[in-house]
Structure 1
Amino acid sequence: MDKQIISRDGTPIAYESTGEGPAVILASGAMSTGATVAPLAVPLSGRFRVVSYDRRGRGQSGDTAPYAVERELEDLAALIETVGGEAALYGISSGGALVLEAAASGLPVRQVAVYEPPFAVYEGGAKERAEYTERLNEALAEGRRGDAVELFLRLTGLAEEMIQGARQSPMWAGMEAIAPSLAYDNAAMGDGLVPRARLASITVPVLAAVGGASPAWMREAARTVAEAAPHGTYRSLEGQTHMVDPNVLGAVLAEFFGG
């Protein structure tokens, strides 16, 4: 990240910008930084000014206690002001929940696209989220960052042997380093259910995309998001999973943001 802005509460937010044209800001999900979504800049920067950034508490951005989702909305507001006062937003996974809330809160947003926001549509989803929240907050309060990462990986459905394998890998230290930000993504997810009332208040076009090879519940979540937004569109990308090919997704986003 080669640039920096200062958010309303004094927190430095690192970002990079490429291309020219209408601004598109990319928000990453949990356990990731702006580098995770930066590959989307390649298929988009021919038509748009693409901004990827490190959300607070990770990468090269700072952090200021206490956390609130409103602080992340202020980070987005500062970025939008920097790129000209209006932008389209894209978010993957829990980053999708964040950008949907940004649109619902009235930020100057042109369009919003999300990829696989992990909202629950199944019975017991809110209870599962509440249990995860309690255990996550307990682990972080006690400084058990590794346990916090394990909790998140189990929530995503990763097999136990893969979790233990990850714990022995060189990447584990980096995962523990940004573990406190898991609480931030969890807060952005609210009670874990599709926020139908908030989505109904969004007045701009919304694209909810999902991988055709992703689990059925995730496809249903994206479809529900699109149906709840007054100007929502649902897209399933054949053969894709949560680890989506940036070129495949980029083509869909370019079409949407250019419309």
Structure 2
Amino acid sequence: MKRVTSADGTRIVYDRHGEGPPMVLLHGDATGKEYWKPVTPLLSGEYTLTISDRRGRGRSGDTEPYSLQREIEDARAVIDSVDGEPVVFGHSFGGLQAIEAARDRAVRAVVAYEPAILVGEYREQADLAARMQERLDAGDPEGAMKRHVKEVIHGGELEGAALDEWLEEWPVWPEYVTFVEDSVRMNRALESYELPERIDLEAPTLLLTGTEAPSHLRDGVRAAHESLVDSRLVEFDGLSHMGPNEAPEQVVETVRSFLAATDAEATTD
């Protein structure tokens, strides 16, 4: 276990695995770095992986007041802890962290699986944080987190008994409920985030999405693709928002191909 201190003094904990050039993995609204377990053995033979816990999750600390900018600073602190310019690979909220952190850090490449970006009419009407807070205020943290899972993972299409059955098979439930207050503040920050019209990263970016993901996340990844000056968008048939867990080999192979292509382009320039 290693640690780095973020700009506001918060302790961010991370682990290192493997050998090779550096890659930083940033998880989304998961319980912690364990989200990356299916991916880690596939990448650790090729990369030195730095896998961190977000603030308020796993073994990392937390400091009030919360803000998206502080989460971005956490990602930058982790990036600064590695030797050389890393590939930064983020999922969901971690995907947004990866993109924003790379605006102010030298990285080899950015990979983002469905970065948590809300756009258009969906963003204008977004009220998930308020609806979750309503259940929290009523003394129902489990109900609040069910609203989060229903919206973020299932796009509002799974509810009632069907949602309960799915949750019974989900390995991180009910531990996931303990992070409900963190999820509320995260959603509130995402509802306020506005995607810039143009994002000119120095590093190439790979954006990933699945055909079974919620429509608002698919809209967000397409909007990010339009904003980023140098990006490639790949869509996986049949995968949901949890694609890196559902089909880690397929996702990793796509990442490998992208990085090999960008290295080849850099060599010929």
TM-score tier by shorter-chain length is: 0.7 to 0.9
Offset of residue 137 of structure 1? 4.3
Q: What's the RMSD between the two structures over aligned residues?
A: 2.8
Partner of 1:146: 142
Partner of 1:189: 190
The answer to whether the Cα contact below 8 Å between 2:32 and 2:57 also exists between their aligned partners in 1 is: yes
Partner of 1:177: 178
Q: In the TM superposition, what whole-angstrom CA distance separates every residue of 1:19-53 from its partner, at most 9, and x where no partner exists?
A: 22221111111143111023222222222111211
**How many aligned residue pairs are there?**
253
Partner Cα distance (2:193, 2:77) in 1: 27
Matched, 1:50 2:57: no
Q: Where in structure 2 are the equivalents of 1:50-89 lying within 5 Å? A: 50-84=49-83, 86-89=85-88
Q: In the TM superposition, what whole-angstrom CA distance separates every residue of 1:218-240 from its partner, at most 9, and x where no partner exists?
A: 44432332222100101112332
Matched, 1:126 2:128: no
TM-score w.r.t. length of structure 1:
0.83
Partner Cα distance (1:46, 1:168) in 2: 34
The answer to whether the Cα contact below 8 Å between 2:129 and 2:185 also exists between their aligned partners in 1 is: no
Moved beyond 6 Å, runs of 4+: 166-170
Partner Cα distance (1:185, 1:249) in 2: 26
Q: In the TM superposition, what whole-angstrom CA distance separates every residue of 1:140-173 from its partner, at most 9, and x where no partner exists?
A: 5776432331221232323222444577789544
70-79 or 179-188, which moves further after superposition? 179-188
Partner Cα distance (1:53, 1:46) in 2: 19
Partner Cα distance (1:3, 1:65) in 2: 23
Partner of 1:255: 257
Q: In the TM superposition, what whole-angstrom CA distance separates every residue of 1:81-126 from its partner, at most 9, and x where no partner exists?
A: 211253221111222122122123x12322111112243455x302
Partner of 2:6: 7
Offset of residue 13 of structure 1? 1.7
Q: Where in structure 2 are the equivalents of 1:192-207 lying within 5 Å? A: 195-197=195-197, 199-207=198-206
Partner Cα distance (1:215, 1:138) in 2: 23
Q: In the TM superposition, what whole-angstrom CA distance separates every residue of 1:158-211 from its partner, at most 9, and x where no partner exists?
A: 322244457778954412211122134325524466x142x5233321111112
- Equivalent pairs: percent with the same residue? 30
The answer to whether the Cα contact below 8 Å between 1:22 and 1:49 also exists between their aligned partners in 2 is: yes
Partner of 2:109: 111
The one-letter code sitting in structure 1 at the alignment partner of 2:125 is E
Partner Cα distance (1:8, 1:154) in 2: 34
The answer to whether the Cα contact below 8 Å between 1:114 and 1:209 also exists between their aligned partners in 2 is: yes
The answer to whether the Cα contact below 8 Å between 1:28 and 1:37 also exists between their aligned partners in 2 is: yes
Partner of 2:92: 93
